[in-house]
Amino acid sequence: MESAMDRQPASNVTEGEAKDEDATRTARKPSMRATPKLEQELASKLRARADATPEFWSFSGRSRREAGHGIFAYPAMMVPQLQGALLEDVQAVDPAVSAVMDPFMGSGTVMLESVSRGLSFYGADINPLAVLLATVKSKVYDPKQLSIVRQRIASRVTEDSSDEIAVEFHNRDKWFRSDVALSLSKLKRAISAERRKVVRQAFWVAMAETIRLVSNSRTSTVKLHSYSADEIDARQIDTIGTFLRISAAQIEQLKDQADALSRGLSNNPDLKIVCSVGDARSAPSGKVRKTVDILMTSPPYGDNVTTVTYGQHSYLPLQWIDTADVPGMRPELLENTRSIDSISLGGKLKGALGWADELQGKSPAFTYCLEQLRSHPTNAQSRFVGFVRDLDDSLDAITAHLGSNAWMFWTLGERKISGISVPTVAIVRDLLASRGARHVETLERKIPGGSKRMAFRNASVETMNSESVLVMRAPCNDDPR
């Protein structure tokens, strides 16, 4: 018998393999649209928001992590209400839109906001933990069934008399006190005993958040940074109690999430969701028709090692979760704490400066910043050029998925390298314009309290205080758009 946890969009693909062919099957024939007029209408609507409510786009005091958005504290999460408002405005101006893509998906903020509005979603991320989170967020769960499973897991933990630690990895004892490791081992065995993968995945997320709180790594930074020995000994940690509290709160979130997803499905029974592990720089496989109407994303603000260490933040949870339940998980991604971050944008610096000339031909803003860095150490220049090179490479693969005149929303932050501000917004605008994209509007927003923390002890920047949303439109092609 089919349960509520099996009810999800037909053709929902969440197992970690890129499904470019699925995107081709969503092809439709949109009507002709007066391009300049629509762009003016959207820009006007976006400006009107701020005119009516100053600092509207900052969402100070109006950002909430609910309806599935709060099941795990993933670093530098996008503001759901911000992305939702953008989607509503573009839907009002262009009702023909039906599919959204996010190639830097993270934990699935754009996915939930898109699907709840009846829009199909195609997303990818290089971090397997992010894809696991988005996978769980894409499901319609039955909270009553989850509550039964939660009690079953608690019973298994109580009955588990084994003193065996379930995992072994480098520096395990540095990051987990022995009593904590034993409790986590009981949880791991209890969750693994569940028959259905979709259920296990939900509780792995609850365990991942538990690990974030009970490990010896400080929660004040997204980078692994241990408490002192005295602090570790003094901590009062109830691992099982923490898991039960988190899983109970998660079930409430997933209840609201089910309502939001069901609402989207009722508006669009043919809605599709694809969440896959993938590198944004990878070219699409096969012949891909350009059918995605909206690109809504937020790429890294620089190389992950010195900005937001998404992979390092995921390292400890991934050590405990059954590999088979994590989409696209590979052993080499856990070889060390930097493995995932090193394969992300800007993770490789060798030969980076050799790309400077080509990038200067595409972006005056890039040229300006590079000239400012000429008097600084070569490493600073390599970090800058390497990241922009990788971002530029990703644009070829990303734009290959976009339909004619597709809308683009880039949430971007500007970091510093050796004290020099990097004009990321201007660089991305230049790189997109070099591919024929048109600028529609740029929205500025303050981040309340500078809440987006960068890597610990990063001398160049500690918090992100502001962001911009760069709104662009893809070039017109031969499709009847």
Question: 151 vs 31, which has greater pLDDT?
Answer: 151
Cα distance between residue 101 and residue 64, in whole Å: 23
Q: Residue 330 region, left (φ>0) first, then alpha (ψ -120 to 50), else beta?
A: beta
Per-residue pLDDT, averaged over 244-248, amounts to 95
What pLDDT, on the 0 to 100 scale, is given for residue 103? 95
What amino acid occupies position 104? Answer: F
Average pLDDT in the 247-254 region? Answer: 92
Q: What is the mean pLDDT of residues 129-156?
A: 95
| pLDDT band, residue 233 (cuts 50/70/90) | very high
Is residue 22 over pLDDT 80?
Answer: no
- R_g (Cα) of the chain, nearest Å: 22
pLDDT digits (tens, 9 = 90+) for 398-410: 999 999 999 999 9
Owner of token pair 């004009």: 423
- Entry pTM: 0.88
Q: What is the pLDDT of residue 20?
A: 41
Domains of the chain: 4-141+251-473 (3.40.50.150)
Q: What is the pLDDT of residues 80-98, one digit of tens each?
A: 888 999 999 999 999 999 9
Q: Which residue has the tokens 């699409």?
A: 284
Q: How far apart are CA 392 and CA 430, in angstroms?
A: 10
Please check the confidence at residue 395 and state whether its pLDDT lies above 70.
yes
Amino acid 231 reads E
Mean pLDDT computed over 115-120: 94
- In the structure encoding, which two tokens stand for residue 454, read together? 């960068």
Residues 6+ apart with CB under 8 A from 449: none
Structure tokens at 346: 């800007």
Q: Are 440 and 42 in contact (CB under 8 A)?
A: yes
**Pairing outcome for strands 420-421 and 416-417:** antiparallel
Percent of the chain with pLDDT over 70: 83
Q: Which of 129, 69, 124 is CA-nearest to residue 102?
A: 124
Measured in whole angstroms, the distance separating CA 36 from the mean position of its chain's CA atoms is 31
The pLDDT value given to residue 161: 97
The chain-wide mean pLDDT, for the chain, equals 85
**pLDDT-derived band of residue 449, with 50, 70 and 90 as boundaries?**
low
